[in-house]
Amino acid sequence: MLLRSQFPLSRMGAMMSLASVLVGAALLPLPAQAQQAPVAAAQPAPIVRGLPDFTELVDKVSPSVVNIRTTQRVQVGGQGEEMDEQMQEFFRRFFGMPMPGQPVPKQNRPKGKGGKEAEPQSEERPRGVGSGFILTADGFVMTNAHVVDGADDVYVTLTDQRELKAKVVGIDKRTDVAVVKIDASNLPAVRVGDVSKLKVGEWVMAIGSPFGLENTVTAGIVSAKARDTGEEIRFIQTDVAVNPGNSGGPLINMRGEVVGINSQILSRSGGFMGISFSIPIDDALRVADQLRASGKVVRGRIGVAIEPVSKEVADSLGLAKPQGAVVRMVDPGGPADKAGVEAGDIITRFNGVVVDKAGDLPRLVGVTKPGTKATLQVFRRGAYKDLPVNVVELDDKPKQQAAAGSSGTPGKTEGKLAASALGLELSSLTAEQKRELKINSGVLVVDADGPAQRAGLREGDVILAIANVQVADVKQFEAVLGKVDRSRPVSVLVRRGEWAQYAVIRPNN
Q: Are residues 70 and 173 in the same domain?
A: yes
CA distance 457 to 340: 27
3-state SS class at 396: coil
Q: Is residue 163 part of a domain?
A: yes
Residue ranges of the annotated binding site are: 146, 176, 245-247
Q: Are residues 177 and 76 in the same domain?
A: yes
Q: Are residues 213 and 284 in the same domain?
A: yes
Q: Is residue 480 part of a domain?
A: yes
Q: Is residue 208 part of a domain?
A: yes
AA identity, residue 25: A
Q: Are residues 177 and 196 in the same domain?
A: no
Q: Are residues 216 and 289 in the same domain?
A: yes
Domain assignment of residue 274, given as a range: 191-294
Q: Could you tell me if 445 and 498 are in contact, meaning their C-beta atoms sit under 8 angstroms apart?
A: no
Q: Are residues 196 and 219 in the same domain?
A: yes
Which secondary-structure segment (H or E) carries 360? Answer: helix 360-366
- Phi, psi torsion values for 264, nearest 5 degrees: -140, 165
Q: Is residue 35 part of a domain?
A: no
Q: Could you tell me if 387 and 330 are in contact, meaning their C-beta atoms sit under 8 angstroms apart?
A: no
CB contact set of 198 (below 8 Å; sequence gap of 6+): 222, 225, 236, 253, 259
Low-confidence residues of the chain: pLDDT under 70: 1-41, 43, 45-49, 76-120, 269-270, 396-421, 486, 508-509
Q: Are residues 217 and 287 in the same domain?
A: yes
CA distance 497 to 402: 7
Residue 143: strand pairing partners: 178
| Phi-psi domain of 432 (left: phi exceeds 0; alpha: psi -120 through 50; beta: other) | alpha
Q: Is residue 22 part of a domain?
A: no
Among 155, 182, 209, identify where a domain stops: 182
Beta strands 325-330 and 304-308, pairing class: antiparallel
CA distance 410 to 413: 8
What's the Rg (C-alpha) of the chain? Answer: 35
Q: CA separation (Å) from 479 to 81, 137, 415?
A: 69, 72, 12
At 212-221, the pLDDT tens digits run: 888 899 999 9
CA distance 333 to 339: 10
Q: Is residue 127 part of a domain?
A: yes
CA distance 494 to 454: 14
Number of domains present in the structure of the chain: 4
CA distance 145 to 247: 9
CATH number at residue 437: 2.30.42.10
Please state the separation of Cα 133 from the chain's center in Å: 23
CA angle 339, 340, 346 (to 5 degrees): 105
Q: Is residue 57 part of a domain?
A: no
CA distance 213 to 474: 69
Among 359, 393, 427, identify where a domain stops: 393
Q: What is the pLDDT of residue 293?
A: 94
CB contact set of 252 (below 8 Å; sequence gap of 6+): 57, 61, 204, 205, 206, 207, 258, 259
Q: What is the pLDDT of residue 484?
A: 75
Q: Are residues 159 and 255 in the same domain?
A: no
Residue 231: strand pairing partners: none
Q: Could you tell me if 51 and 143 are in contact, meaning their C-beta atoms sit under 8 angstroms apart?
A: no
At 84-105, the pLDDT tens digits run: 555 555 545 454 445 555 555 5
Q: Within 10 Å of residue 224's Cβ, how many Cβ atoms?
A: 14
Give the helix, strand, coil percentages of the chain, each rounded to 5.
25, 35, 45
Q: Are residues 213 and 232 in the same domain?
A: yes
CA distance 444 to 451: 17
Q: Are residues 84 and 168 in the same domain?
A: yes
CA distance 71 to 129: 9
Q: What is the pLDDT of residue 105?
A: 54
Q: What is the pLDDT of residue 404?
A: 37
Q: Are residues 285 and 328 in the same domain?
A: no
Residue ranges of the annotated binding site for substrate are: 146, 176, 245-247
Q: What is the pLDDT of residue 254?
A: 94
Among 294, 325, 355, identify where a domain stops: 294
Q: What is the pLDDT of residue 2?
A: 38
CA distance 437 to 446: 16
Q: Within 10 Å of residue 351's Cβ, how many Cβ atoms?
A: 15
For the full predicted model, state whether its pTM sits above 0.75: no
CATH number at residue 219: 2.40.10.10
Q: Which of 453, 464, 335 is nearest to 406 (CA)?
A: 464
Which residues are annotated as catalytic?
A: 146, 176, 247
Q: Could you tell me if 492 and 500 are in contact, meaning their C-beta atoms sit under 8 angstroms apart?
A: no
Q: Could you tell me if 493 and 464 are in contact, meaning their C-beta atoms sit under 8 angstroms apart?
A: yes
CB contact set of 309 (below 8 Å; sequence gap of 6+): 319, 322, 323, 324, 325, 326, 346, 358
Q: Are residues 69 and 176 in the same domain?
A: yes
Residue 212: strand pairing partners: none
3-state SS class at 195: helix
Q: Is residue 114 part of a domain?
A: no
